[in-house]
Amino acid sequence: MTGPRDVPAGRRPVICGLGLTDLGKVHGPTAAQFAADAVRFAAADAGLALGDIDGLLVSSGVTNGVHLDLQLDLGLHDLALLSEMQAYGSTAGAMVQVASMAVQSGMASTVACVWADAPLRPGRSGAAAYGAAARGQSGWRGLAASAGITSANQMYAMAARRHMERYGTSSEQLGAIAVAQRDWAVLNPLAQLRTPITIQDYLASRWVAEPFRLLDCCLVSNGGIAVIVTSADRAAGLRQPPVHVRGWAQAHPGHSGRRFDDFGLVSGAATAGPAALRMADVELADIDVVELYDCYTYTVLVTLEDYGFCGKGEGGPFVASGVLGPEGKLKVNTGGGQLSAYYMWGMTPLSEAIIQARGQAGERQVRDHELVLVSGNGGCLDHHSTLILAATS
């Protein structure tokens, strides 16, 4: 695959714009309206006019409310690239990859990537919003539903339980992740949850799907986030410091659920991570900031193992050692992640990565932020995207 190092410096892809709508329990706008606003905000952030955009990649969550006609909503004409993309939680990373390839090939010069959703309704719980997507399943999914597996909660709970049985991972170790990320969220004015928690608070939170408690599970949020990818030459005269896209990769394990399958124990990070690092020509030890997809605490644990921050099966003691959180040596999910900040699928880790790489994170800004690793995870450890972003070329 042709990576950024293989093209002239001026054509290398960078992220030049970031747009975030209001996020969380925001009622009223549709997913499409959130998406349009996010693109407008990203263009303004970059110092671009909407007419400067010649590529548009769109995606949505469970409401499936963002489509190709967003081009018309935004008044965009003569696009060189237009597509809907869906790889679940790995979509944001995948969109940046496609946009980067389009920019460095010359197919398009300025590509907006946007994800938005609006599952929350007044008087309706987040669980109800996502649970509705599981009803009416047929075939293999219907068989799973008949056994009581009606949502991602149960599937990820089985993955976590398998890791616990194989390696002795404990609830307290998962709780260390929830506590550390809440500590980061306290420092993030955009976070939905900013009240500090302790391990005792974690253990006292209600069961959702054993071994998961409420504080193991991500938020549900309304809103939209967009990023704009362009070339290094084009970004040179724009408003924001460019964030360079140095490496990328995807992996789609395709777990079968059959006997001897490695479901729950290994994710696509194990192959996508090393591939993205190779493209960027950096080592894992060079990474300063790590922004991981965290739909559940367990997703963080298994992704850290699969990237190689600790050995396979050693994730529990590793996360409980004090390595996470604002005072830890490994800067992971510095905005609070999806557990405490906001749930915008893969746009959550991506947006925080951009903010950190720019040096614009305020009280939570990490001192060393040259290289940022970003993960996206889709399905139940079925899809994965990795990005390596850099503050300089």
Give the residue numbers marked as catalytic: 293, 343
Count of residues in the chain:
393
Query: 155-158 long-range contacts, Cβ below 8 Å, gap at least 24?
Result: 155/380, 156/209, 156/212, 156/295, 156/296, 156/298, 156/299, 156/380, 156/381, 157/208, 157/209, 157/210, 157/211, 157/212, 158/264
Enter the tokens of residue 88. 């679940």
Q: Compute the chain's Rg from CA coordinates.
A: 20
Q: Decide: 27 and 82 in contact? Cβ < 8 Å.
A: no
Q: Decide: 26 and 78 in contact? Cβ < 8 Å.
A: no
Q: Decide: 358 and 279 in contact? Cβ < 8 Å.
A: no
| Complete DSSP assignment for 158-209 | HHHHHHHHHH---HHHHHHHHHHHHHHHTT-TT-S--S---HHHHHHSPEEE
Closest CA to 346 of 31, 30, 61: 61
